[in-house]
Structure 1
Amino acid sequence: MKHQAVEGFSKLSKEGKIEWVINEYLNGDTSTIKILKQYWNDDADLQKLHDEFSENTVSNFYMPFGLAPNFLINNELYAIPMAVEESSVVAAASKAAKFWQTRGGFKTTILSTTKLGHVHFMYEGDFEKLNTAFENTIKAKLVEETNDITKNMRARNGGILNLELINKTADLANYYQIKGSFETVDSMGANFINSCLEQFAKTLKNEIDADDNFTQEEKDSLQIVMCILSNYTPDCIVRAEVSCPIEQLAEGEITAEEFVEKFSRAVRIAEIEPYRATTHNKGIMNGVDSVVIATGNDFRAVEACAHTYAAKDGQYSSLTHCEVKDGIFRFWIDLPTALGTIGGLTALHPLVKLALGILGKPNSKELMGFAAVAGLAQNFAALRSLVTTGIQKGHMKMHLMNILNQLEATEEEKQFFVNYFKDKTVTHHTVIDEFCRLRGVTSVEEIKKN
């Protein structure tokens, strides 16, 4: 069946959009209506709020909103809100939090908070002439002509920190940038930065056009390509770390020295091997993204920035590091991340407001710390499992409920399996076999028929 293009889809009512997708893509299956509507909020005003977060909305997509308690951070106890669908993420973070609670907890330090944006432009004239004009007159004019935009931000001790002319002609003929450095305080700052950049572009063009030192040909050659913030923020960095004497790290039958050796070696492998580093950092971002989503921030920007930073030295590498010095084990992460606690969803989404309330209404720097701590805790828990019991034992126990829900197990059957696997490793194959035995059938297909 070939599908037809649709005109004016955004102007259809929500019911109209649903009717269209049912007829065009779902063979008229009206059960779709029930599936979509069961996730609508009963409160019409709340549903309208959610509808207006994005475009062409037909329903809400729920994710579990959980809490990881017992995080001792800078000598204060916190429960960290985490929105994530993957089994074992919240459990692992909570387990790491409890482990470090009695060993000094987590410490966070803001290393820097600078965010960046660029005016990308082409210019075919004399670079020295352009550079002289930029330093003598244009730079000051860029600041002056954005005063109205930066007024409120400057009142909060933010604003434009620095402006540079960047010559990129070695990489692309005639390509230049105006690189802006910004402090956006408690907002993520995207709209603020982009507004400044667009004004920079207008000012640059006007100043060159009005400068008699440039030939008409040079003036005509100046073309603005785009004005956009960068989600790579290598100068907006938070450090989260844990440390304790080596002897406090004994793990079951594994001595403290053996545990530290295995753990350090696992981190070192992630530092030198991109295949391992990718999975290693993915686990870190399980924790980071969960906090970022729960607090209404842009997890795609945070992800992109973290992975770019992981490759900043020319090879993709671990975001976490560890060392042993004078008998002290230390494990840390330097995470580049631009987060906000005002603007965007932070003042609109009820659960986001609740999450920020649980965290004590943090400022942006404190929120950066919470995200980094969650990532470090998740990574510690994963590495601890990998070098001791193995990752599957704990992960598959958390995944057990997903398997049982797919099989539509009863509550009694779920309790049976929880008890059954108390001293066994969960595997999908074992669950299926035991479930079939319990139901007295030979295959899952037989269950579905009944």
Structure 2
Amino acid sequence: MSTSPQRFFAARLAGTVVFDPIGEPVGKIRDVVVLPQARGAARAVGFVVEVPGKRRVFLPVTRVTSITPGQVISSGLLNMRRFEKRSGEMLVIADLLDRTVTLLDGSGQATVQDVALDQNRHRDWELSKLHVRRAKTGSGLTKLVSRGETLTVDVDAVSGLHGTQAEQSAALLLASYQDLKPADLGEILQELDAKRRLELAEELSDDRLADVLEELPEDTRVEVLTRLQASRAADVLDVMDPDDAADIVQELPHDLAEELLELMEPEEAEDVRRLMAYDEYTAGGMMTTEPLIVAPETPVAHCLAMISREELSPALAATVHVCRSPLETPTGRLLGIVHFQHLLRERPDRPVGEILDADRHTVPVHMPLSGVTREMATYNLVSIPVVDDEGRLLGAITVDDVLDHVLPEDWREQDEPPALTGQIDLAEISRAAGARGTAR
């Protein structure tokens, strides 16, 4: 870095591309990690960088050779281990922006809008300035005039920046993550402390929180659900796919699980209880009880409208199951299935019962994981119906359900995916799945 004084503002730096020494982009700045000091200003120790795949990693400040508008240049390779905030560290954007501070000149309170860091003579980056917005003061016309006034002050001109003031509101923090996919938001939730994680969870809608919980490790989602109000936890379980809700309920303490099942909608609770009766590593334990089901006289146009619903996962929307009445699981006899590509090739008014796929693959409800895996791999299926001894449809297993059970239980917590060489051996996966099912 240059020895001349430099300054950057954290919020303005967010989104800036990080380049390696040869000019290749490696990620984007998402936050600045600072360490408050017993004496003097907080000092920057590094940056949170988002690399391809939405993974957030740590870039030490000592590895940064240049910070200029539009680019940050680093030396060497990034450590791809997932970033975890250490004790005592703070994130400027996540922890300090929108924090309420008190102006020491006696003029009242203000909220932090941006934070400037200057490079000192030792080439360390220190918090130096705060861009703040004054709180509303006075009443009537005076209050309107003072609203929105902003100013830049020295860090030591305020109190409450570290430690004692209220945290940035969870709603504001959530707004910065609104475009993230559930898996990426789940990864961020894991990085927060338990109190902050609960605050953020409480701000999420029921549907959004349900999607995120499905992406979290067992211990984290149990922690979140047990700390939510019971009525809210039951509402979240209501909007989950029944198979995912059943998996989570089985992880909860028995008394809490029963309480939540009593608070759930009766129909949803019934589906969850039915799935909990099956061993986790069987077809019944993996299936969802809410596949797409239609009668044979249903026109193709209606089926296409069903599969276009935004809330359906791609794997679940890929197949329509044609059954005799009743059309809710357990249904009448399963007549067959139709894949969405087949529906696209037919005229809209044609009854779906006339175009059933010739190849029909089903699995019995007690088939072990290894058998289900082998069946889906052999015939390249993204989903497969689960039937009882009378041929009635009980549910369907999608490929993501199988992957969740085949992968190691802690796969969401692993910093690096296992290395794959050559072709994936599906037979070996089936053998491994069989071993997992037998072990349990």
TM-score (norm 2): 0.20
Larger RCO (alpha carbons 8 Å, 6+ apart)? 1
| Higher-helix-fraction structure | 1
| Higher-strand-fraction structure | 2
TM-score (norm 1): 0.20
